[in-house]
Structure 1
Amino acid sequence: MTAIGKTPPLLEVEELNVTFPTPHGAVDVVRDLGFTLEPGGSLGIVGESGSGKSMTSLAIMGLLPPRATMSGRVRLAGRELSGLTDRQLRRVRGDRIAMVFQDPLSSLNPYYTVGAQIEEAYRAHRQRVTRRQARRVAVEAMERVHIADAARRVDHYPHQFSGGMRQRVMIAMALCTEPDLLIADEPTTALDVTVQAQILRLLTEVRQETGAGLVLITHDLAVVSEMTEEVLVMRAGACVERASAERLFSDPRHPYTRALLDAVPRLDDEVGELRTVRGRGPSPAAGATEGDER
């Protein structure tokens, strides 16, 4: 708990567990996870597919599938979120906490213009806002993420935008309510390298302008080294290492973290050489062990 008079962390996660029923019994896809994020701070969550990264973000947002069960605590600026009703969570979600998903094409409704969708997100959290005011906010949000000719493009449909531009629309939608916390779940998936760099620069710019905290979920170690101050490494639903980005990349302590860093291609590698993490990743049912990557 936060000491009296001390500003609480922006985000506190304590003993978070997410469990799914299976024919072979209950499986913890996230287990005993805990971390904090200070106001304006940035945290990268890295790990291979199936490590529990996205389930962690969905648990924070209160968007877990109905069959999943969750235990533990999630607090935003000292306010407990894990016990809120769906109606109460909707007031927080999209307002105080916003999320950028990895696939904007499936997140955007193809039957509505992007402007209408940004307007809807804004009006859902702002009372007594006219359509004209909401439209102005939508145009300003699109200009903020550097979409050219936003006043015209606000009336375009998702299929009329490229993948990178659709992701910009998603970021604009997330920013329109000025959230305190932005969660970006693999925001550069399926984008080419140049567009990836543009989106990452945009997220950095947004943080600097708004002071929002950032949780960046990715499997790309190079991204977290540039984008975040702290890094949390996950495997089989558990945190195997957490450290400042500087320390993690200069002095990784866990064998799995070292194996991940060794697998990053280098310019001095011999032609045809490809380092990999040997062995198979454990299933969440098995848990992560210190030597299983060897």
Structure 2
Amino acid sequence: MTSFLSVKDLSIQTISQKILVENISFDLNKGETLAIIGQSGGGKTVTASAIFGLLPPGLKACGSVQLGGYEVLNVTPGVRLRKYKLEQLFLVQQSMTAFDPLSTIGQQIIETLRSHKKNWSVKQCLEIAEDALTRLHFSDPKSVLKKYPCELSGGMLQRCMLSFALCLKPSLIIADEPTSALDIVSSRKVIDQFIEIKEELQTAIILVTHDLRAAAPASDKCLLMKAGREIAFGTPNEVLNAENDYSKLMKRAVDKLRYKDHAALS
């Protein structure tokens, strides 16, 4: 069976040839979630950006990224959508600053949806957005759409970003630190909603995070990175119990925190 997303020997370097990421490889099927974990500066976000097709200027990627059977390394999301019909969604870090503070949530959702679906009317976009927010457990979606970002909590804004997935039904979602600014209750809710979206849409999801505790319940696979290299790969439990110093350090940290949720981290 061919994987929906296949990354082979992905390396990233600067124009001065400083290596940031070296020989990262993994496969991901539809309906699976991969957690890319590790400390800050380990290469997680730049790896995800290269996979998505949005490397910052001055960086160069080589290797292979195949999505839906197409080679898409160094191909922008816009070209992927127009040429290959590959709808993607990147959820940026810090939901509190992801939205324009001068526009309502509804205005921003409508603008985004119509940029992807030019034949959708404003009324149609509003109806689709309301339905998505309802399914993300907002009790009054009409009211949410009329609010400005400053009027919503971080957890609510994170769920607003997730509404784009239910509206556009992307084939790939990449979320950069989706729980980093949230309290433990909001974090659990967001992770639960990633699970619901994965199961409903059969979307391939990549969660970029430093916190395996939060990502584990939603993750089928886990890639542990340090200094731009793979340290361990497998299920969250396999990575946590791998025979390397970094995994052992992480396991001690998890045990010390005594994180009590439905993640089976043994």
TM-score by length of 2: 0.89
Q: How many angstroms does 1:265 deviate by? A: 4.0
2-structure distance, mates of 1:198, 1:54: 23
SS in 1 for 2:93: coil
User: What are the equivalent positions in structure 2 for 1:1-294 lying under 5 Å apart?
Assistant: 6=1, 8-21=2-15, 25-84=16-75, 87-89=78-80, 91=82, 96-249=87-240, 251-266=241-256
- Supply the distance in 2 between the matched residues of 1:83 and 1:217 (Cα, whole angstroms): 20
* Paired residue secondary structure (2:45): helix
Name 1:292's counterpart in structure 2: none
Instruction: Check conservation: 2:91, 2:161, Cα contact below 8 A.
Output: yes
- Residues 99 and 93 of structure 1, relative CA distance in 2, 3 Å threshold: farther
Whole-Å separation in 2 of the counterparts to 1:123 and 1:190: 29
Structure of higher CA gyration radius: 1
Kindly indicate whether the alpha-carbon contact (under 8 Å) linking 1:94 and 1:121 is maintained by their aligned counterparts in 2. no
More helix by share: 2
Q: 1:87 to 1:182 in 2, by over 3 A?
A: closer
Q: Residues 131 and 145 of structure 1: is their aligned pair in 2 closer, same or farther, counting only changes over 3 Å?
A: same
Shift in alpha-carbon separation, 1:201–1:86, aligned structure 2, 3 A: closer
RMSD: 2.2
Alpha-carbon spacing, 1:265–1:86, altered in 2? closer, same or farther (3 Å): closer
Shift of 1:20: 2.1
Structure 2: which 5+ runs fail to align?
259-266
| Cα distance in 1 between the residues matched to 2:100 and 2:86 | 20
Identity %: 32
Provide the secondary structure at the position in 1 that maps to 2:22.
strand
- The answer on whether the counterparts of 1:221 and 1:261 sit within 8 Å (CA) in structure 2 is no
Q: Which amino acid aligns with 1:191?
A: L
Structure 1 residue runs of 5 or longer lacking an equivalent are 1-5, 269-294
| 1:254 CA displacement | 2.2
Q: Secondary structure at the match of 2:243?
A: coil
Which residue in 2 is equivalent to 1:278? none
Structure 1 length normalisation: TM-score?
Answer: 0.81
Aligned residue pairs, count:
258
Alignment check: 8 A CA contact 1:91 1:125 kept: no
